[in-house]
Amino acid sequence: MPMPDPAARVRAEAYRHGTHSVIDRTVPDEIAVALSYDRVGYAVMMATPTNLVDFAIGFSLSERIIDRASDVIDCALVTVEQGIECRLQVGHDVASRLAQRRRHMAGALGCGLCGLESLAEATRDIKPVTSSMRFSAPGLTAAIRDMARLQGLNAQTHGVHAAAFYQPGSADLLVREDVGRHNALDKVIGALARQGRAGSGGAVLLTSRVSIELIQKCGLFGAPLIIAVSVPTAHAIRAAEAAGITLAAIARDDGFEVFTHPARIELEEIANVA
């Protein structure tokens, strides 16, 4: 069965400026993506059916199921009637960790502690980011412009999020798109992990608002700077401050606002020392 298309052409009736017309429009699609480890199901996510191996690896890292991309021996994508299965084969240590986590989750559910466990996960501490990387304001602004230019699916649909990784001095900007903002970031994390690249070497760019989950993912990834097109939540700002992450947002063609640790950003072009 072929992989589904990430977008679809649909017909709509338009009412604009007091007139009626029938139009064709390209809209993004989403599909159920099931992740399993050694054929045992773990989670089902709604996602855009592109770069799904990157997504599976990034999700596994963000959820701390694996420690590195090499913990995944194989990742097979299987299209089924209900969606797509990402079948990950993992090493023995990971399988044992997953089995222990499943037992813990089952016990928590039985004794009524599931809510408390979920709260603890939502507010988990973020390992401090200590990268000495420096960034120039003009370089970050140019990277935001480049991200918009490289969003091919969004150019068709005007309806998907993007995440990107910017490394000063590199001409290549790694961009991933998805209907889900968390998924887009997981795809970037997975793609970089598969390339053997560390988050400490650059900045994460986001088209979405910045919530606590995105700070947690970037902190685990080791990225010293996050810059977003939309606004951060107050919780995200507090978390970034505590974790030593530079958080910039409301990025436009004329600049951006910095909410935490502004010392990593210089107003002029600079030579970066990792």
Is the residue at 147 inside a domain?
Answer: yes
Domain count, the chain: 2
pLDDT value, residue 107 = 42
Is the residue at 81 inside a domain?
Answer: no
Do 103 and 143 sit in the same domain of this protein?
A: no
Is the residue at 252 inside a domain?
Answer: yes
Do 105 and 227 sit in the same domain of this protein?
A: no
pLDDT value, residue 14 = 96
CATH code (residue 159): 3.40.140.10
Do 113 and 234 sit in the same domain of this protein?
A: no
Is the residue at 205 inside a domain?
Answer: yes
Do 182 and 248 sit in the same domain of this protein?
A: yes
- Written as six digits, the tokens of 142 are 């140019």
Do 111 and 171 sit in the same domain of this protein?
A: no
Q: Which residues pair with residue 174 across a beta bridge? A: 165
Q: pLDDT by residue for the chain (274 residues), tens digit each? A: 788 999 999 999 999 999 999 999 999 999 999 999 998 899 999 999 999 999 999 999 999 999 999 999 999 999 999 999 999 999 888 888 887 776 554 444 444 445 555 666 666 778 899 888 999 999 999 999 999 999 999 999 999 999 999 999 888 899 999 999 999 999 999 999 999 999 999 999 999 999 999 999 999 999 999 999 999 999 999 999 999 999 999 999 899 999 999 999 998 655 555 5
Q: Tell me the residue range of the domain where 97 lies.
A: 93-122
Is the residue at 262 inside a domain?
Answer: yes
Residue 113 backbone zone (phi > 0: left; psi -120 to 50: alpha; other: beta): alpha
Do 175 and 103 sit in the same domain of this protein?
A: no
Three state DSSP letters for 158-192: CCCEEEEEECCCCCCCEEEEECCHHHHHHHHHHHH
Do 145 and 252 sit in the same domain of this protein?
A: yes
Is 111 a residue of the active site? Answer: yes
pLDDT value, residue 99 = 78
Do 141 and 261 sit in the same domain of this protein?
A: yes
Do 141 and 207 sit in the same domain of this protein?
A: yes
Is the residue at 33 inside a domain?
Answer: no
Do 107 and 215 sit in the same domain of this protein?
A: no
Is the residue at 45 inside a domain?
Answer: no
| Listed residue (82, 4, 5, 32) closest to 183, CA to CA | 32
Predicted TM-score (pTM) of the model is 0.90
Is the residue at 28 inside a domain?
Answer: no
Do 110 and 221 sit in the same domain of this protein?
A: no
